[in-house]
Structure 1
């Protein structure tokens, strides 16, 4: 269908129709295309406006008898000049049409390339997240099922007596996890935060929540004679642990 419209627009039928030089059959075809296809209708409208603008720009009051002299002069000109003028109009219109179409498709291609890049980036991020999750599941399975894994019970101090947790440490695979079984309720402006001291450096392990899945494990940084802490911090967490608010120590 697009090829059919393209071939029609490349012909000089629209220009001939505007100049009233088409046959009855050609006029019927032009009118049918204008009614059926928006591209043809738009091209005809633009060509009609261009011709009207040209006529207005060069319209002047004609001297008496000038019209008759012009008509006789045109009739005496070679038919080739008339055809050349119509082809020039058609060629100009075709050039404008293809220039616009080229820009449209170029712009569409640029947008598609940007969207494709965004989709590829999202896929890469998802693949990395999935790989990390699978690695974490594998490590948890090793820690829970390896006979060399050691368990450490963690109980809260006087500030959080009901706090219960179990730390799992496997020195062979160098993996450490903690399972927080119970967290006492805190005011809304406070939260529990976990820390680990590994090789002399304090690592923030994030805010602890009361997980619905009581078997969920949280990864701990592994280190020789590592220490862990659970503190009470302002809601949203803290950048450094509040020592006086330590509610549990984890030696693993």
Structure 2
């Protein structure tokens, strides 16, 4: 058992997951570990069996007449909701008539304000984009030329044997980049997507599109003992990684 799995099992995330008490981030992490690591899957099944046995042991029979009482209250609530709905329709219609009479005059002034705001925001966005691009170029230069930078070769698994990449990590400047130099061909409805697991949270790094640029560097979030992944997803990408479609692990 690796140290990473032992640390995970020492937490109470599996128990919280069984009780439906995990956050969205924690749920994704637990499901990913269950799918990827047999030790975690075995522990999860044991906890599930134990919880089911405990629930059966302490289950109580519902009181007589409980079902009829609940159905009666539901019917009463529906009658009250029906009356409220009729009054709400009348009030909404009156509000729409009033809003329509004043909308035209308000809209003329608002359009002028919006146009001025759009122009101002576009200028700010261009300035910010340029600042971000210059910062990224500076960081790439540091990573490629600093003697403290470490290189890690990345190879694809059986699903993507032609995949080749190199990760560059500088622990002094706390910068990480990866250069994907070769990718196998995929069907038109599939794409490669890159991820990074940082402090237990999965970060979407985007779809790998411009593979023709062999010199392109992709920024990786820096963290101690961070792990990156490349997966095959449906064209357009996915909000969460498809664990069974992981084709490369990037330990940096």
- The alignment's TM-score, normalised by the length of structure 1, stands at 0.55
C-alpha separation between the residues in 1 aligned to 2:111 and 2:229? Answer: 51
| CA-CA distance at 1:202 after TM superposition | 0.9
C-alpha separation between the residues in 2 aligned to 1:112 and 1:244? Answer: 52
How big is the alpha-carbon RMSD for the aligned residues of Structure 1 and Structure 2? 2.0
Q: What is the 5 A alignment of 1:1-252? A: 114-252=114-252
Matched residue count: 146
Q: Is the 8 A contact 2:194 2:230 kept in 1?
A: yes
Cα 1:117–1:242 shift into 2, 3 Å: closer
Q: Write out per-residue CA displacement over residues 93-146 of structure 1, whole angstroms, 9 at most, x where no aligned residue.
A: xxxxxxxxxxxxxxx999776544322211001001110011001000100010
Q: Is the 8 A contact 1:182 1:210 kept in 2?
A: no
Q: Write out per-residue CA displacement over residues 182-206 of structure 1, whole angstroms, 9 at most, x where no aligned residue.
A: 1111001111111111111111111
Rg (Cα) greater in structure: 1
Cα 1:111–1:202 shift into 2, 3 Å: closer
Q: In terms of mean alpha carbon deviation, does 122-131 or 239-248 score higher?
A: 239-248
Residue 249 of structure 1 aligns to a residue whose secondary structure is strand
Residue 173 of structure 1 aligns to a residue whose secondary structure is coil
| CA-CA distance at 1:170 after TM superposition | 0.4
C-alpha separation between the residues in 2 aligned to 1:166 and 1:219? Answer: 12
Q: Write out per-residue CA displacement over residues 40-89 of structure 1, whole angstroms, 9 at most, x where no aligned residue.
A: xxxxxxxxxxxxxxxxxxxxxxxxxxxxxxxxxxxxxxxxxxxxxxxxxx
Runs of 4+ in structure 1 over 4 Å off:
108-114
Cα 1:140–1:113 shift into 2, 3 Å: same
- The alignment's TM-score, normalised by the length of structure 2, stands at 0.55
Cα 1:111–1:173 shift into 2, 3 Å: same
C-alpha separation between the residues in 1 aligned to 2:195 and 2:110? Answer: 48
Q: Is the 8 A contact 2:183 2:211 kept in 1?
A: no
Residue 232 of structure 1 aligns to a residue whose secondary structure is strand
| CA-CA distance at 1:148 after TM superposition | 0.2
Question: Which of the pair has the greater relative contact order for Cα pairs under 8 Å at 6+ separation?
Answer: 2
| CA-CA distance at 1:247 after TM superposition | 0.6
Gaps of at least 5 residues in structure 2 are 1-107
Gaps of at least 5 residues in structure 1 are 1-107
